Structure 1
């Protein structure tokens, strides 16, 4: 496969982009204790972070088409690394929120740029390339929760015949450590990614912005996909931010166990990416999106009623497969539905709905947790998954570039 450097470093960047979200989700209980926060307050911070993560995808998509995806992806990682260092020195809730604003801006730059770069580098077997890109990301994401838990927590737990003891560095030093890989991967993209793009410079900025704004109105399939990714994003992000806290506080497990189970979700997500990438090149993308959202619905219900660690582990593993399997499928369907010169902007809109609108999930979840209980967050995620399944039935199959 040509352009291996593109896949390697975009997969690493993809991994880190989500890692900065996962690190927050694992460290939320420790941050809540230090700053005396309730679920609503930490949910608000997570939603500010998540909303900007998605909102910034719109200018990121525009910039990817205008100046090139490689430059945007590099700047994304540099900004994330800087934000991680800033978060580590936050001295109150307001400052902490401001530093997560910076991190939200940084993380939001990656997805449209990285996905656009992969889609341009691999015109053939695009679903497969998207799947490989996702697998690489999931491998890193699977390591992030357990690594973060072991770095931050002093707890000791038994896993099979082994005993794991956390280093107990706390959340601040853990964030300092997570700044380093962002710097290294940014350097790798600058030095080793040599795929040549052709930025869209002949059109005026005003024309490009107008074209971007009209995409959902001119393209019915893209409009349906944007609605779909909104609801998928709501339950994906609700789980991304609150799953470790639910495992710890509702299922009554140590933080390291919460980290391990979150790692399981991300690890099985790699299988989901592979399965989605393989099936997306062979079968109806519409039917696959319906199927994967149905599986997510069932697995969420299983998790809600799970009474032991075995049931928790199995339900979380299935959730991991299903929520990541639909990603290469929908990303390939977007590419097939839009001309190449609009692709970065289309991905910008898609990731805004996934992570901007979807980024409201922590705020909604925090409000539900305060008003009812933390356990009520999972039925809320089930509702979002059911709606996503219904929306997926409205998608139509398209040929490459058809509007």
Structure 2
């Protein structure tokens, strides 16, 4: 079915916003490599600085969702785009780690607005939600791949990292202007009577009551699973560019350090993000055939094995084509499964929460994924300072824990939460 003009307008607006959130997000690890080369700081300290920027990305999801209900989704998304761009302009003026920290924290606060506001807008304004959600997800993955690609390309071309940060801010500013002019009905897909109370702020007592009910259900286990997925995802994506730079297998194929420390290894990192688009597409289709717990268990186990596989692959001797091929192949497979897992935890939230608490449950989901998950940046920086194998072993431990919790979700849910939740999961399949 063709999209209505209102659906197309919302789709264009939210796809732009989703792509740009991840455009900014995944360019930061590229700058991390540059900052390590330029500033005389330990990787652990810089890890804490970057973690301080990523943490508000998730922690702000709950208050952002409440603000979106109170002030409207369009206004919040425009503010998000303008805020992220302004934060990168602040980074462009930075001349110290302290200023970088301020810029990253401002970015995290602004970026936290998007997911609860964008998903809420699609759910209330779009008739063909499935189609728009699919395109919305693809736009996010395009941003994930383009952000580091453009950042690395600008640096390789000879620009300073400050100039690169300023140029990356321009699309966000243009998108904010576009958002101000976008015309659509944000409540076209809901009953007018339901929408009548949309501007009423959720009271603190109601928020606490709804949250207690949610965490007394199977969602509590899903939330912990998502948190460990976030710990693995954020830790690996943040430090993988640094690991690839240190790979002996790539050493003979790099032309030597280039301006700002950017090397061809960064393009391998971008390549695995591109492969991740296929992984998310495949994972989305598999959710129609595989129960969430089973899918999560299988992919967590694969991710743990892949993390450990980086230990010998990254240390392969330089000078042989086999080493290069092994790094590229492992990175590609890793990127596929890193993103294939995401549709499964999104589906788990939908399966194990009631419809009337879905918005709140996704708010908590992003708190675990992006907020608590950012803790692995600080942990990873400390452990990576010890050794690369220690870091990869820590990341694998996060994935193994996620697998064990997914096993519990699959075989022990009825004992933990009663028969109804388990029946809902079984009935779905």
Given that 2:91 and 2:103 are in contact with CA atoms closer than 8 Å, whether structure 1 keeps it comes out as yes
* Structure 2 counterpart SS, 1:322: helix
Identify which range, 244-253 or 100-109, moves more after superposition. Answer: 244-253
User: Is structure 2 residue 208 aligned with structure 1 residue 210?
Assistant: yes
Counterpart CA distance in 2 for 1:349 and 1:260 is: 33
How far off is 1:44 after superposition? Answer: 0.7
Of 287, 302, 306, 1:280 maps to: 287
- Larger relative CO (CA 8 A, sep 6+): 1 or 2? 1
Counterpart CA distance in 1 for 2:225 and 2:424 is: 20
* Structure 1 counterpart SS, 2:294: helix
User: Is structure 2 residue 363 aligned with structure 1 residue 363?
Assistant: no
Superposition map of 1:375-390 within 5 A: 375-390=389-404
Call closer, same or farther: CA 1:204–1:148 in 2, change over 3 Å. closer
Counterpart CA distance in 2 for 1:103 and 1:366 is: 20
Of 61, 66, 69, 1:62 maps to: 66
Given that 1:269 and 1:325 are in contact with CA atoms closer than 8 Å, whether structure 2 keeps it comes out as yes
- What residue number does 2:360 align with? 345
* Structure 2 counterpart SS, 1:180: helix
Q: TM-score, normalised by structure 2?
A: 0.82
Identify which range, 209-218 or 177-186, moves more after superposition. Answer: 209-218
- What residue number does 1:157 align with? none
- What residue number does 2:198 align with? 200
Counterpart CA distance in 1 for 2:387 and 2:64 is: 37
Give the gaps of 5 or more residues in structure 1.
153-165
Identify which range, 67-76 or 222-231, moves more after superposition. Answer: 67-76
Counterpart CA distance in 2 for 1:359 and 1:382 is: 16
Counterpart CA distance in 1 for 2:137 and 2:311 is: 27
- What residue number does 1:173 align with? 163
Call closer, same or farther: CA 1:85–1:44 in 2, change over 3 Å. same
Counterpart CA distance in 1 for 2:241 and 2:374 is: 17
How far off is 1:310 after superposition? Answer: 1.4
- What residue number does 1:323 align with? 338
How far off is 1:193 after superposition? Answer: 6.2
Q: Which has the larger radius of gyration?
A: 2
User: Is structure 2 residue 295 aligned with structure 1 residue 295?
Assistant: no
- What residue number does 1:270 align with? 277
Of 104, 107, 110, 1:100 maps to: 104
Given that 1:294 and 1:386 are in contact with CA atoms closer than 8 Å, whether structure 2 keeps it comes out as yes
Q: TM-score, normalised by structure 1?
A: 0.87
How far off is 1:215 after superposition? Answer: 4.7
Counterpart CA distance in 2 for 1:195 and 1:383 is: 46
- What residue number does 1:162 align with? none
Give the gaps of 5 or more residues in structure 2.
188-194, 255-261, 317-322, 414-421
Given that 1:54 and 1:356 are in contact with CA atoms closer than 8 Å, whether structure 2 keeps it comes out as yes
* Structure 1 counterpart SS, 2:94: coil
Number of equivalent positions: 385
Given that 1:290 and 1:393 are in contact with CA atoms closer than 8 Å, whether structure 2 keeps it comes out as yes
Call closer, same or farther: CA 1:6–1:111 in 2, change over 3 Å. same
How far off is 1:38 after superposition? Answer: 1.5
Counterpart CA distance in 2 for 1:328 and 1:303 is: 25
Call closer, same or farther: CA 1:242–1:318 in 2, change over 3 Å. same
How far off is 1:399 after superposition? Answer: 4.6
Given that 1:62 and 1:209 are in contact with CA atoms closer than 8 Å, whether structure 2 keeps it comes out as no
Identify which range, 337-346 or 95-104, moves more after superposition. Answer: 337-346
Counterpart CA distance in 1 for 2:173 and 2:166 is: 12
